[in-house]
Chains A and B, each alone.
Chain A
Amino acid sequence: MSHRTVKFYQTGTFTVGNRLLPEEDRAVQSGVGRANSLTSGHRACQGCGEALGARCVLDAAMRAAEGNVIVANATGCLEVFSTPYPESSWRVPWIHSLFGNAPSVATGIAAALRAKGRSGVRVIAQGGDGGTTDIGMGCLSGMFERNDDVLYICYDNEAYMNTGVQRSSATPAGARTATTPPVGEHPGHEFGRGKSVPLIAMAHSIPYVATASVAELRDLEYKVTRAMGICGARYIQVHVPCPLGWGSKPQDTIRIARLAIETGLFPLFEAENGKIVERHRIRSPKPVTDYLTQQKRFSHLFNESGSYAVAAIQEIADRNIRDFDLCENICDDHSRLR
């Protein structure tokens, strides 16, 4: 990563330490001047990765644009838990139109700002994985292709959580959802070919694409800040665990997000103009079982008939490590992990 990764070996935790750092290295979230774009009192579940991600993304964006940000939100958990009538948790100008049109609404906002000569105001569109990788895909691709001046954030919790945990095209193979129940020989969500929207975004050669995680908040803030410094279409996919849908403990959200990175299942990288320029290296990849066993959505895999599925998921992680060149050391022999 091109910014300084902070590791707190002194305490063994990742939560302390801003006060140990020089001012310029401290997180946006640690500053008294943070915008609190998504302020307290909203109705997200305990341990919601999306709420945490959205707050960090928007506060970083607000700092980068000196408060001149307009947000278009797709329908989904984030929209529902933040604006139940007659309340709103947003302290930014915010519009929710439909499930599948947030990229186009953002394009319209950007066009209006251009027509009105307000070049200082920046536009962010955001949605969950359902609103992004499924129903919003057409509008998203159009926004990329035209290189509209919009930063799109996808909060990826790997299923339709707001409607009761149904499968999306971002759901990982093997996961139990309400529409992919593990019955008989069926392993939960089928092993298809998957869909990487970051790679699809890169195929549009847009100026900036990144993946990020709530486990690495400084990295997330850094990538948002970078993206805000660039004009044109930009895309960041943020991995946000969902305790409700994943069947994990609320206090484990960050731990599980980190395991997704450390196993290679969620590679962190940055790409410019369609080429990967930075990746988050893994010192010593962890076996995927470390990640899977923390979540009830994979619990059915840990019996005799599910072992092939665990092996197949390990292969996906190994392929990611190879394809995205994630390994810090030379680790040719991945079999030792199993």
Chain B
Amino acid sequence: MLRQLETSRSIAEAVALCRPEVVCAYPITPQTHIVEGLAEFVREGRLRPCEFLNVESEFAALSVAIGASATGARAYTATASQGLLFMAEAVYNASGLGFPIVMTIGNRAIGAPINIWNDHSDSMALRDAGWMQLFASTAQEAADLHIVAFRLAEELSCPVMVCVDGFVLTHSYEAVDLPVQEQVDAFLPRYEPRQVLDPAIPVSVGAMVGPEAFTEVRYLAHQKQLRALDLLPELSRDFANIFSRPCGALISPYRTDGANTIVVALGSVNGTIQDVVDEMREAGRSIGSISVGCYRPFPMCAVAEATAQASRIVVIDRSLAPGMGGILAADVHMATQSNPVRIFSVIAGLGGRPITRSSLRRVFETAMDDALGQLTFLDLQTELIERHLERERKMWNTGPAAENILYDIQRIAAEIG
């Protein structure tokens, strides 16, 4: 049934349909609405049996989920931005111990400067933590991927982050088809843990491992992620059979047939990209796009195959590795090493800057004219950069850069009048 809902709300509804037994919450914008929704369901008795815990930090939130998952409960939490970094130690721990926790990331920038708006810096910071990372490109996927995530996590005994663009998705209202309980129950079986803390079978979890076996433990973590790549097509088929729609959990190519240029991106910007692809296709340009739904494990073969015919790839990264460039771009590079293809890396939408169709179209056209640089910052205000660099050349004690730039913005606005 289609319902007009805020995506945070539809995520809460989807999570509730997965029957989590322990939900722990620490408020951080923009995921706050999700856990507020779940708190309400638990208080109303709609979600039962389920323990909802308000904890004192993000570090505690994931630690509670670790304890709950170790005791055989289906555990869920949500976070974003600084919160994800605050729990970083527990993030590695949960995957190292192999607990199938599902966590929503309402993707947001990382400070300083403090900024509460959307980009992918947070999940990128933890991309190598051993968690699987699924990226939602639409409000519908944001809800659906949670159902897929619990099944994927529990089949592999490995935690999953569902990454949802903060505000762009979490706070937007869209019509979403929420499944009914019977459908979810048919897709997601009861949680049967591979390891459980039980007085009847006393096991030690979390023992120390030295050089003699650490490599093997890490190798198994890698191998587990590769198994996810084999499993995801099967889960996607099951999902489509039960829910009558694709879940977007691997890659979703869009008008890539015969495309010379292919745009690759994570998350909600794929909607805008697809609009630009439509415009350009109408204008006779040979362009398509790929939305990467599963970022960790990275679907190397699927990306290589889907881009095999292209001569150019433009990768849109909503995050930045300073000193290197685009993070997704580096992964696409690795995946397409044997393809004769040029890769352009575009950094866009940092700290919530809107990614507009006109800017995207301009950058795609430039790439197709082979006039785009290897690394481009979309809509970079070069005048502000120049002013700041000039200030640094002139004086040593320039003070905080962010404050100076804000001052410059006001001054430029005043000059324009």
CB-CB under 8 A for A92 and B199, given A109-B71, A112-B72? yes
The answer to whether the Cβ of A324 comes within 8 Å of any Cβ in the partner chain is no
- 8 Å CB contact of B60 from A72, A104, A113, A115: A104
Residues on B with beta carbons closer than 8 Å to the beta carbon of A67: 199
Given the complex of chains A and B, what is the CA–CA distance between A47 and B202 in angstroms?
27
Are B51 and A114 within 8 A (Cβ)? yes
Choose one: A90, A114, A117; the contact of B202 (CB below 8 Å): A90
Docked-complex contact B93 and A107, CB < 8 angstroms = no
Contact A138:B60 (CB < 8 A) given known A106-B67, A107-B67, A108-B24: yes
CA distance A95 to B70 in the complex (A): 8
Q: Smallest Cβ distance from B305 to chain A, in angstroms?
A: 40
Check B197 against A115 for contact (C-beta < 8 Å): no
CA distance A197 to B203 in the complex (A): 31
Q: 1/0 per residue A62-93: CB within 8 Å of B?
A: 00000111101100000110011111101111
- Set of chain A residues within 8 Å of B53, measured between Cβ atoms: 107-108, 111, 146
Is the pair A112, B22 in contact by a Cβ cutoff of 8 Å?
yes
A196 to B162, CA, bound (A): 42
Cβ distance A248 to chain B, nearest Cβ, rounded Å:
27
Q: Which of B56, B199, B205, B209 meets A121, CB within 8 Å? A: B199
Known contacts A85-B213, A96-B207, A97-B206: A108-B49 contact under CB 8 Å: no
B195 CB → nearest A CB, Å = 10
Residue on B with the closest CB to A83? B207
Q: Which residues of A contact B213 (CB under 8 A)?
A: 85-86
- Residues in B with CB closer than 8 Å to A79 are 206, 208
Which B residues from 196 to 224 make CB contacts under 8 A with A?
197-199, 201-210, 212-213
- Residue B50 interfacial (CB < 8 Å): yes
Contact A88 B204 (CB under 8 A): yes
Q: Tell me the number of A-to-B contacts counted with CB atoms below 8 Å.
A: 165
Closest to B213 in A: A85
Contact A142 B199 (CB under 8 A): no
Interface assignment of B65: CB less than 8 Å from any CB of chain A: yes
Query: B23 — nearest CB in chain A belongs to which residue?
Result: A111
Q: What is the CB-to-nearest-CB distance from B65 to chain A, in angstroms, rounded to a whole number?
A: 6
Interface residues of B in 80-115 (CB under 8 A from A): 89-90, 93, 97
Q: From DSSP, what is the main secondary structure of chain B's interface residues?
A: mixed
Taken together as a complex, chains A and B put the C-alpha atoms of A94 and B63 apart, in Å, by 15
Interface size classification for chain A: 35 or more
Residues of B within 8 A of A85 (CB): 207-210, 212-213
A265 to B223, CA, bound (A): 54
Q: Is A325 an interface residue (CB 8 A)?
A: no
Partner of A116, one of B72, B89, B202, B207: B72
Given contacts A85-B213, A93-B197, A111-B68, contact A104 B55 (CB under 8 A): yes
By the criterion CB–CB under 8 Å, are B202 and A109 in contact?
Answer: no
A101 and B197: CB pair below 8 A?
no
Answer whether A101 and B90 are a contact pair too, CB < 8 Å, given A70-B199, A121-B199, A139-B59. yes
Chain A residue contacts of B331, Cβ below 8 A: none
Q: Is the CB of A115 within 8 A of B22?
A: yes
A99-139 vs B, CB cutoff 8 Å, 1 = contact: the mask equals 01100111111111111110001000000000000000011
A-B contacts, 13 of them at CB < 8 A, read A79-B206, A85-B208, A90-B204, A105-B64, A107-B60, A108-B22, A108-B53, A109-B68, A111-B73, A112-B69, A112-B75, A115-B49, A146-B55
Known pairs A70-B198, A95-B205, A146-B54. 8 more at Cβ < 8 A?
Answer: A70-B71, A73-B206, A97-B63, A100-B59, A111-B67, A111-B73, A113-B71, A139-B57
Interface of B with A (CB < 8 Å)?
21-22, 24, 49-51, 53-57, 59-61, 63-73, 75, 89-90, 93, 97, 197-199, 201-210, 212-213
